[in-house]
Amino acid sequence: MKLFRPFNVVVDFETGDLTPGKKITRYLSDIQHFFLDKEKVKAVLAKENPLVYEVIYAEVPEEAGHLAHCTTIIYPGKVGNEFFFTKGHLHEKLETAEIYFTLKGQGRLIMASPDGEECEVLEMFPGSASYIPPCWSHRSVNVGGEPLIFYCIFFADAGHDYATIDKTGFPKVVLERNGEVVVENNPNW
Ligand code: M6P
Ligand code: ZN
């Protein structure tokens, strides 16, 4: 049996950098179709294409038995009154859980059952360890004025299913109204 060697990565709690790691970046143009206000998205993109979030993965084989882990940094920002968020996904292996441990910033974690009948929104804050049970889709939202940084652990063979979310979005949206963070039903659901 070939043994996989133990290794460390180092997480910077201030910046969310994970070293050594592999970074992916998502710009507004990558997730534009999820935002409610299509005109506002167009107006922003006519001027710039802001970086919405980055994910930095530790290099672990995508095989059963391994634990994948990464940091996510969602930059502060809004389109209209809707806060920046991650795409969101289900796991291809639906019955696999995940944990998000928040290092910095303020957020909301929207989770839904595959048919969207059940939806829960948890607060994310420094020190919160949010449990995403098997079968719940998940999207995180930065509701603060600084980057939202969290560390995630999931089954390395779980896979990302984006197709379902691409079609439906999430049952709830997180908006700013009169300076307050509010969770509302998605009018397009
Ligand atoms: C977390 C984890 C990752 C995921 C990332 C960004 O870090 O759940 O697996 O890739 O968030 O979310 P998404 O893939 O939905 O864009
Ligand atoms: Zn996940």
CATH number of the domain residue 63 falls in: 2.60.120.10
Q: Are 74 and 142 in contact (CB under 8 A)?
A: yes
* Residues bordering ligand 2, an ion, CB closer than 5 Å: 98
pLDDT at 77: 98
Considering the domain boundaries, does residue 120 fall inside one?
yes
Q: What is the distance of C-alpha 47 from the center of its chain?
A: 25
- CB 111 near ligand 1, within 6 Å: no
Residue whose CA is at the smallest distance from ligand 1 atom 2: 152
Give the total number of structural domains in the chain.
1
pLDDT at 120: 98
> Atom of ligand 1 at shortest distance to CA of 24?
10
Considering the domain boundaries, does residue 4 fall inside one?
no
Considering the domain boundaries, does residue 160 fall inside one?
yes
The residue written with tokens 């999430």 in the block is: 170
User: What would the two tokens of residue 150 be?
Assistant: 């969290």
- CB 41 near ligand 1, within 6 Å: no
Phi and psi, residue 87, nearest 5°: -50, -55
Q: Which of 74, 73, 50 is nearest to 174 (CA)?
A: 74
The torsion angle over the Cα atoms of residues 38, 29, 140 and 65, rounded to 10 degrees, is 140
- Diameter of the chain by CA atoms? 60
Q: Ligand 1 pocket: which of 62, 160, 166, 168 to mutate (most atoms <8 Å of CB)? A: 160
Considering the domain boundaries, does residue 69 fall inside one?
yes
CA distance 110 to 137: 8
Q: Is 64 exposed, middle or buried (0-12, 13-18, 19+ CB in 10 A)?
A: exposed
CA of residue 55 to ligand 1 center, whole Å: 7
Write the CB contacts of 153 (distance below 8 Å, at least 6 apart in sequence).
67, 68, 69, 98, 99, 101
Phi and psi, residue 26, nearest 5°: -125, 125
pLDDT at 41: 98
Q: Which of 32, 5, 18, 22 is nearest to 59 (CA)?
A: 22
pLDDT at 2: 84
Considering the domain boundaries, does residue 2 fall inside one?
no
Considering the domain boundaries, does residue 5 fall inside one?
no
pLDDT at 15: 98
pLDDT at 1: 75
What range defines the domain where residue 147 resides? Answer: 10-185
Considering the domain boundaries, does residue 3 fall inside one?
no
pLDDT at 100: 99
Positions in the chain whose pLDDT score sits under 70: none
Phi and psi, residue 152, nearest 5°: -125, 145
Supply the Cα-derived Rg of the chain in whole angstroms: 16
Considering the domain boundaries, does residue 111 fall inside one?
yes
> Atom of ligand 1 at shortest distance to CA of 98?
8
